[in-house]
Chains A and B, each alone.
Chain A
Amino acid sequence: MTANRHGSAVIEFPNDLEIVVTREFDAPIALVFDVFTKPEHVRKTIAPFGEEVKVCSIDLRVGGNYHFVFVTDDGTECSFRGTYMEVEPPTRTVETWLFDGWPDAEAVESMDLQEAHGVTKLTWKLAFRDQAGRDHMTKFDGIEANLDNVEDLLRSLLDPEGTVSG
């Protein structure tokens, strides 16, 4: 494993409706896919700053639902839910995306993975129905932290003894 890539997510706004985040992980694509789609892994990474995770359910099939709830330190519940529209392990999922904090914002989320030379590149996209929805996307520390959590979990899965320091 190479040195850590914390804070390396690239966040772009290619048009008025979308946000696209790209991030590389030093792990094979199948493992990265699992870490983003299996509840036992997602439970450990979804809460950006180590908040309590109350709900983490994933029914990974076309038409299946997912639901995540974590509780921030002042007791606010953050709930994310949606339905899978495409499931193509280990490269792609597409799903609807609803955050209860922004009830007026509807989006379609997609995750695409590509592996080259042992590095897996994530392209994560949220495509909002309208610009007002996309305009909610002003804070990126949570996204960064979430992806850093994924990196840390991948590292511990690949090197459980922690023999190679990051």
Chain B
Amino acid sequence: MARASTTSDVFNAIAEAHRREILDALMAGEKAVGAIVNDLSMSQPQVSKHLRVLSQVGLVRCRAEGRRRLYRLEPARLRPLQDWLAKYEQAWNDRLDRVDDYLQELQSKGERQ
């Protein structure tokens, strides 16, 4: 039956692949629900369901224009995600540097032979 959304923060909101697709669809700018539906392989009810979750965590903002509802991205709300990821960036870069060193070592060995 009804599948409840257990969404309270940005991390949960973007854990769902369909919701990431919707965010991607809004990268180009503000869109009506119908336009998002046309861009993706989801039906209007499902898009609406996911837009509601994205609105609740502030990742999209909605405004009405006549009967149409237009949604736009609020990319600043991805900040908690970036802050979290930043902690891993240093470790990631350190590892890449070591791979770099190793590759150079291999290359210089190869040249000597």
Contact = CB atoms under 8 A, between A and B. Distances in A.
A18 to B, nearest CB: 19
Interface stretch (B7-15, B46-54, B84-92, B99-107): B46-54
Interface string A131-154: 000000001111001000100110
Interface stretch (A26-34, A57-65, A68-76, A83-91): A68-76
B2 A49 contact: yes
Most chain A C-beta atoms within 10 Å of own C-beta, residue among B33, B46, B51: B46
Interface of B: 1-4, 33, 37, 41-46, 48-49, 51-52, 62, 69
A74 B33 contact: yes
Q: How large is the interface on A (under 10, 10 to 19, 20 to 34, 35 or more residues)?
A: 20 to 34
A35 interface: no
Interface of A: 44-45, 47-51, 70, 72-76, 78, 101, 139-142, 145, 149, 152-153
Given A50-B2, A73-B51, A78 B46 contact: no
6 contacts: A49-B46, A72-B45, A73-B45, A74-B48, A74-B51, A74-B62
A45 B1 CA distance: 7
B28 to A, nearest CB: 20
A51 B1 contact: no
B48 A72 contact: yes
A49 B48 CA distance: 10
A152 B1 CA distance: 6
Pairs of residues from A and B, 7 with the lowest C-beta to C-beta distance, nearest first:
A50-B2, A72-B48, A139-B43, A73-B52, A142-B43, A73-B48, A74-B48
Contacts of A48: 43, 45-46
